[in-house]
């Protein structure tokens, strides 16, 4: 199917960076790092967008030719419109079922933004506050330093600034220790710092927001996400949990390599579904296009601009995130965690970003609020090559020098004759 270029005669969406009221903002935010209010929108030159999308198609075709992933789905959104949609490879290599735009993937840590989005809606409704203390809501919540425990707020757990060492108890979660047992063992862990004083990425502690929401509303977390986010945005295939994933008409099995360019599916792991707010969402590319549009301000009826500004405001500094990959070392000059999102200064521009990984799945989403342009990518194997494509597109869109962050310009490794890897599709809407 031929490539569909973008028509750029579209109205700009409402800017995401708006003035935040002191009552709405989460606590312990450094005013020097907050999003500047009323930053004017800008437009990437249409010719540059068209050239970037052509390059993206070429890079994706090369990725497919090299059999670098089992299957992949990606889209580019500009000014609230899907400019480009592409799938490749297999949802299930054993049956040759292809990845399609409605194929459902595990989102892994991209799930966190749904939890923070729901929380923001409930804060606006007056059901709870960013300053709600966990000890006032959850009697079982304890830390080794109980004085510190008394200070931890909803904003702290969602902003990854509880004070616990990074990824506390993730190893035990992966060993199938129940979530309920892990949260009751938090008082056995030495604190890394006081609440709000340092960054420490969490899945178990983050997921306490589900308990808080149930206590404060009397309704289950996942039902409220469905009611307040999935349904109004038209995310028809989005869901929580392994059973829902496997009940989807088309869903991407996780795969492991069994030789160059060959993949074998395996059963999804249950562990991170047990921390649903942190890692429990399943969604298709079509769902994530709608989510990306909403996060860039295109659905103010569901996620108003003032709410998005709170979610995207830089919070605790995360300097370690500036050095984890070559593209980050080269392009990112500031890094913070917001509320379920990372906020990077990328080539001098604000980038709202997150990535996720569970066994057999990788996901990435990122957008520039000033330009209302964003990308989402999901794949169902562990290969890292696709993760370099998104910064290559960012560079193209911002007019930065080209760097092959995905390693596509180096010679591919020798390979034996292959069966056809699977269909590549450019989809019309």
pLDDT tens sequence across 314-325 = 999 999 999 999
Of 182, 217, 252, the one marking the end of a domain is: 217
The answer to whether residue 329 is domain-embedded is yes
At 229, give phi and psi (nearest 5°): -125, -60
Q: Are residues 56 and 126 located together in one domain of the fold?
A: no
The answer to whether residue 202 is domain-embedded is yes
Which residue range forms the structural domain that includes residue 207? 121-217
Contacts of 228 (CB under 8 A, 6+ apart): 118, 121, 302
Contacts of 190 (CB under 8 A, 6+ apart): 144, 165
Give the pLDDT band of residue 36 (cuts 50, 70, 90).
Answer: very low
Q: How far is CA 236 from CA 104, 106, 200, 285, in A?
A: 11, 15, 34, 11
> pLDDT tens, 127-162?
999 999 999 999 999 999 999 999 999 999 999 999
Q: Would you list the DSSP string of 254-308?
A: -EEESSTT-EEE-PPP-GGGGSHHHH-EEEEHHHHHHHHHHHTTS-TTTS-HHHH
At 394, give phi and psi (nearest 5°): -55, -45
More confident residue, 263 or 410: 263
* pLDDT value for 384: 84
Indicate whether this model's pTM tops 0.85: yes
* pLDDT value for 13: 30
Give me the number of domains the chain comprises: 2
* pLDDT value for 14: 26
The answer to whether residue 2 is domain-embedded is no
Exposed/middle/buried for 173, CB within 10 Å: 0-12, 13-18, 19+? Answer: buried
Q: Are residues 213 and 269 located together in one domain of the fold?
A: no
* pLDDT value for 252: 98
Q: Compute the average pLDDT of residues 23-48.
A: 59
* pLDDT value for 423: 57
Give yes or no for residue 313 having a pLDDT over 80.
Answer: yes
* pLDDT value for 41: 83
3-state secondary structure 232-249: HHCCCCCEECHHHHHHCC
Q: Are residues 275 and 381 located together in one domain of the fold?
A: yes
Give yes or no for residue 274 having a pLDDT over 50.
Answer: yes
The answer to whether residue 16 is domain-embedded is no
316-317/281-284 β-pairing: unpaired
Q: Are residues 279 and 372 located together in one domain of the fold?
A: yes
* pLDDT value for 35: 43
Calculate the dihedral angle through the C-alpha atoms of 49, 53, 58, 62, rounding to the nearest 10 degrees. Answer: 120
> pLDDT tens, 243-256?
999 999 999 999 99
* pLDDT value for 34: 44
Q: Which residues in 300-348 belong to E strands, given as ranges?
A: 316-317, 332-337, 342-346
Distance CA 330, CA 383 (A): 22
Give yes or no for residue 16 having a pLDDT over 70.
Answer: no
Q: Are residues 80 and 97 located together in one domain of the fold?
A: yes
The answer to whether residue 25 is domain-embedded is no
Q: Average the pLDDT over each of 40-49, 221-230, 353-362, 398-407 and give the range with the smallest value.
A: 40-49
Instruction: List the one residue out of 40, 35, 30 whose CA is nearest residue 308.
Output: 35
Q: Would you state the structure tokens that stand for residue 420, as one six-digit string?
A: 């056809």
Q: Are residues 381 and 265 located together in one domain of the fold?
A: yes
Q: Are residues 213 and 229 located together in one domain of the fold?
A: no
Q: Average the pLDDT over each of 3-12, 116-125, 215-224, 385-394 and give the range with the smallest value.
A: 3-12
Q: Are residues 179 and 250 located together in one domain of the fold?
A: no
The answer to whether residue 199 is domain-embedded is yes
Give yes or no for residue 30 having a pLDDT over 50.
Answer: no
Give the pLDDT band of residue 3 (cuts 50, 70, 90).
Answer: very low
Give yes or no for residue 33 having a pLDDT over 70.
Answer: no
Distance CA 366, CA 390 (A): 8
The answer to whether residue 333 is domain-embedded is yes
Give yes or no for residue 37 having a pLDDT over 90.
Answer: no
Please state, rounded to an integer, the average pLDDT across all residues of the chain.
89
Q: What does DSSP assign to residue 37?
A: T
Q: Are residues 99 and 142 located together in one domain of the fold?
A: no
Q: Are residues 134 and 158 located together in one domain of the fold?
A: yes
Of 217, 233, 262, the one marking the end of a domain is: 217
Q: Are residues 263 and 318 located together in one domain of the fold?
A: yes
More confident residue, 410 or 272: 272
Give yes or no for residue 22 having a pLDDT over 70.
Answer: no
Exposed/middle/buried for 119, CB within 10 Å: 0-12, 13-18, 19+? Answer: buried
Of 202, 217, 232, the one marking the end of a domain is: 217
Give yes or no for residue 417 having a pLDDT over 50.
Answer: no
Q: Are residues 165 and 207 located together in one domain of the fold?
A: yes
Give yes or no for residue 126 having a pLDDT over 70.
Answer: yes
Give yes or no for residue 117 having a pLDDT over 80.
Answer: yes
The answer to whether residue 5 is domain-embedded is no
């Amino acid at each position: 199917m031929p490539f569909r270029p973008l028509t750029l005669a579209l109205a700009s969406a409402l800017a995401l960076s708006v003035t935040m009221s002191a009552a709405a903002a989460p606590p312990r935010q450094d005013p020097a790092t907050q999003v500047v209010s009323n930053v004017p929108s800008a437009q990437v030159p249409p010719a540059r967008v068209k050239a970037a999308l052509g390059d993206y198609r070429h890079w994706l075709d090369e990725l497919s030719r090299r059999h670098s992933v089992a299957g992949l789905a990606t889209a580019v959104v500009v000014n609230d419109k899907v400019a480009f949609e592409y799938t490749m490879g297999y949802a299930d290599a054993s049956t040759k079922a292809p990845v399609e735009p409605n194929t459902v993937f595990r989102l892994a840590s991209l799930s966190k933004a749904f939890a923070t989005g729901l929380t923001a809606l409930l804060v606006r409704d007056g059901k709870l506050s960013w300053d709600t203390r966990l000890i006032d809501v959850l009697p079982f919540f304890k830390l080794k330093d109980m004085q510190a425990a008394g200070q931890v707020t909803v904003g702290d757990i969602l902003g990854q600034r509880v004070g616990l060492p990074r990824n506390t108890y993730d190893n035990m979660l992966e060993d199938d220790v129940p979530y309920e047992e892990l949260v009751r063992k938090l008082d056995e862990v030495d604190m890394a710092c006081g609440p709000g004083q340092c960054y420490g990425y969490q899945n178990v502690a983050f997921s306490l927001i589900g308990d808080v929401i149930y206590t404060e509303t009397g309704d289950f977390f996942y039902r409220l996400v469905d009611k307040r986010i999935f349904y109004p945005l038209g995310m028809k295939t989005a869901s929580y949990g392994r059973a829902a994933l496997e009940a989807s008409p088309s869903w991407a099995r996780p795969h492991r390599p069994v030789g160059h360019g060959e993949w074998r599916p395996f059963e999804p792991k249950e562990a991170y579904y047990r921390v649903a707010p942190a890692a429990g969402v399943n969604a298709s590319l079509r769902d994530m296009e709608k989510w990306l549009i909403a996060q860039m301000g295109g659905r103010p009826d569901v996620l108003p601009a003032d709410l998005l500004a709170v979610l995207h405001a830089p919070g605790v500094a995360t300097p370690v995130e500036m050095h984890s990959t070559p593209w980050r070392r080269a392009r990112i000059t500031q890094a913070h965690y917001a509320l379920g999102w990372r906020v990077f200064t990328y080539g001098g521009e604000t980038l709202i970003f997150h990535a996720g990984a569970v066994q057999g799945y990788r996901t990435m989403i990122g957008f520039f609020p000033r330009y209302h342009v964003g990308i989402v990518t999901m794949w169902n194997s562990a290969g890292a090559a696709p993760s370099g494509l998104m910064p290559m597109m960012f560079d193209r869109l911002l007019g930065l020098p080209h760097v092959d962050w995905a390693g596509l310009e180096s010679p591919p490794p020798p390979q034996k004759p292959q069966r056809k890897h699977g269909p590549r599709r450019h989809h019309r809407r």
